[in-house]
Amino acid sequence: MTLRTAVRVCAVAVCCTSWAGPLAALEPTTGAAARAAAAPRPRVGLALGGGGARAAAHIGVLEVLERLRVPVDCVAGTSMGAVVAGAFAAGVAPKAMSVELARADWSDMFVDEPDWDERNFRNKRLTQRFLSGTEIGINPHGLQYRPGVLTGQKIKLFLNRLVHGDRSDREIQDLPLTLSIIATDIGNGERVVIRDGSLSKAMRASMSIPGLMAPVEYDGRLLVDGGLVDNVPIQEVRERCNADVVIAVNVGSPLLDATDVTSLFSVTAQMVGILTEQNVGHSLASLRRGDVFIKPEMGDITATDFERHGQAVQRGRDAALASAARLRALAVGELEYAAWWSRITAGRGEAPRVDQIEVAGSPQLHPQAVLRHITQELGQTLDIDRLHRDLLRAYGDAHFESADYALLPMGERHVLRVMPQPKRWGPDFFRFAAGVNSTLKPGSTYSLRAAYQKTLLNRLGGEFTATGEVGTTKALAVDVYQPLDPGQRSFIEVSARAARAAAIVFENDDKLSEYEVSSRTYGIAVGLNLGLIGQLRLGWMSQVKRYDLDIGPPVFPPGPFHTPGWFTGVDFDQMNHPSFPSKGWAASVSYFAPNDAAFTRLSAEGRAAMQAGAFVVAGRIAYTDSPHGVLPFHEAASLGGLLNLSAYATDQFLGDEVQYAQVRIERVLQRLPIGLSGDLRAGLALEAGRIGVRYTETSRAGWQDSVFLYLGGPTPVGPLYLGYARSSSGSANAYLFIGSL
């Protein structure tokens, strides 16, 4: 052993982690290096199998190959094995790969939408009224359903970062290391081997779990997870580079126990596992004498345990070490290995300067509607973090199935091409929502809501929405929203709504009367979108209400009451979640002045939230008053109901000069499974409110209070609350609330 090598071995023994000791002892000997120099080394192919989160074990195997100086001539991968194989072929060192995979928030990555505060204001309001997961498309081919629960927007951007897509558009055929990626044609079940084209797109296609993630269109085919047809692509590497030796790594999952199939991701992973077991045995049967088969002992690490990344990497190291004697026979000298790795990383360079930005692939929408989100400065180095944030914002406009990019050299210049992909199941949609609010007090409600939304009426992004609702409230509504400039900064909106609902009058905590309230509302507004922060409006509206007595003594005159007038308002919403935020703020102010000037209405509200460890503290204040005159009963503000003086029935208090304050303290109990955004919480809400001029509960003067204990969290159909509230006056209420009302 040379002095230089001896020093290097000693340094590794002192500095490396606990697994480096055995590796140092297995350092290739001078004799092995000499034999490698004397005769052509065998051609080595590396096959990395799929296995979800378990595929992190491949990184541990690569670390051992790196330490033993074992070069490979080609690599093939399937599913998450394709992700590791693609990154390796792109020149990402195992250690760097491990860092990137470890810092990724996989729970967030399996939720396509950006954080709530990164979405435009209109999309926030539509999402609160309708469930995005129920979106059914309408186009010339008829009804079209979403191709998967996820489109994979965040996953694709992560893959771009992993393979250094910020430095060039990585094409498989241009990589120094021969790479094959395995996928499945969902149309005919054929095995598809991808050997050219976009690297990150091919990786994304290979890991598209059917039903969970949308297929990827690639050369006219729709591709899904390659594990369905070839989960450990041994034959591919043997044939692709005429490999003398194949190193095959199988991290496939054993089938889960029925009790462990508890989430959407685990259900789909179980389905894929059943199918892949059928082809793995056939692949392993093709191994020959001299091949190296590595099967890490993964224990109870499942395909969904992304948070156990470090453990999976260690299992891969351990398994490779067990085969170290056979791997060492494939080792080369230090200089030869360095030259091989230098060739793999050649040409990667630094992130280039962006000289031009263009939009491609969205003829139905003006390019400026996309470019308004892109904040990359021309003449500056590409800022990959900023670009990914901006693309998520563009995706959050809800027009696109994906929003990707490519960095293209044009002579001495570099063009950043933004590539939004319109939804294949659009541009028109049916949307749905449902909700139930069951309480101890009178006034339980339920709702079923459906809408027809026609988007992209023109290149400025005009929309038409017609909504119908049945349940406690019956309603029909139409809305036309038309941006006035390509960047969608200004807009005009015309709306009309007819509704019928029950209204209960309370006195001394008892139901006194019940009315059926009919209303017709129509209006027009012009407005400004204030970036992603909020919206400013100015307009005219008219409302006609009629009160028909159903039960009890008459309290209000029947009407009709016609109230036309001008309004203005500003809304800001920078919360990070619509129902269970952990940080952010929101505020709104509105003013309405009827034509007859008998009264005016001013309303203001502020909300804020912050998190400290496992606790979230949130607050809300609200105020409604009539600066001129007194609000009539048909325009009155209200208190009572869920998180609005929870101990009382919905709208139990009606009147003018309404003040309300709330403090919520929530304990995060558990983060929701992969594929769902948010967490399960136990909460305590302290509430207080008062009404100056009272039309109901006329004997309850002064401040009213409520203490509300609850469990809550987001669900696929909307927020869920289960809790009990009580006031110091003895009023009590209980809630089971789920959905959208």
Q: What residues are annotated to the active site?
A: 79, 225
Query: Cis omega before residue 594 (within 30°)?
Result: no
**Three-state DSSP state, 38:** helix
Separation CA 82–CA 84 (nearest Å): 5
Is the separation of the CB atoms in 229 and 182 below 8 Å?
yes
Separation CA 672–CA 389 (nearest Å): 23
Q: What token pair was written down for 370?
A: 């996309």
The two beta strands, 216-218 and 637-639, are unpaired
Distance linking the first and last C-alpha atoms of the chain: 76
Residue showing tokens 């040409």:
347
The DSSP symbol for 553 reads S
Tell me phi and psi for residue 220, to 5 degrees.
80, 0
**Bridge partners, residue 198, by sequence:** 171
- Which residue type does 279 have? N
Q: What token pair was written down for 415?
A: 């063009």
Q: What token pair was written down for 716?
A: 């696929």
Is the separation of the CB atoms in 61 and 47 below 8 Å?
no
Query: Cis omega before residue 632 (within 30°)?
Result: no
Is the separation of the CB atoms in 636 and 624 below 8 Å?
no
Map 62-115 to HEC letters: HHHHHHHCCCCCEEEEECHHHHHHHHHHCCCCHHHHHHHHHHCCHHHHCCCCCC
Angle at 258 between CA 257 and CA 260, to 5 degrees: 70
Is the separation of the CB atoms in 664 and 683 below 8 Å?
yes
Map 618-635 to HEC letters: EEEEEEEECCCCCCCHHH
**Three-state DSSP state, 356:** strand
Q: What token pair was written down for 149?
A: 């629960």
**Bridge partners, residue 30, by sequence:** none
Q: What token pair was written down for 448?
A: 């079923």
Tell me the H-state helices in 258-372.
264-284, 309-322, 324-328, 334-345, 367-371
Separation CA 712–CA 642 (nearest Å): 12
Residue showing tokens 């039960």:
551
The DSSP symbol for 198 reads B
Is the separation of the CB atoms in 304 and 266 below 8 Å?
yes
The DSSP symbol for 443 reads -
Q: Which residues contact 240 (CB under 8 A, 6 or more apart)?
A: 45, 74, 76, 178, 180, 195
Is the separation of the CB atoms in 627 and 656 below 8 Å?
no
Tell me phi and psi for residue 553, to 5 degrees.
-70, 150
Q: What token pair was written down for 517?
A: 């309230």
Q: What token pair was written down for 189?
A: 């079940």
Residue-wise DSSP of 646-682: TTS-TT-EEEEEEEEEEEEEEEEEEEPPTTS-SEEEE
Is the separation of the CB atoms in 301 and 253 below 8 Å?
no
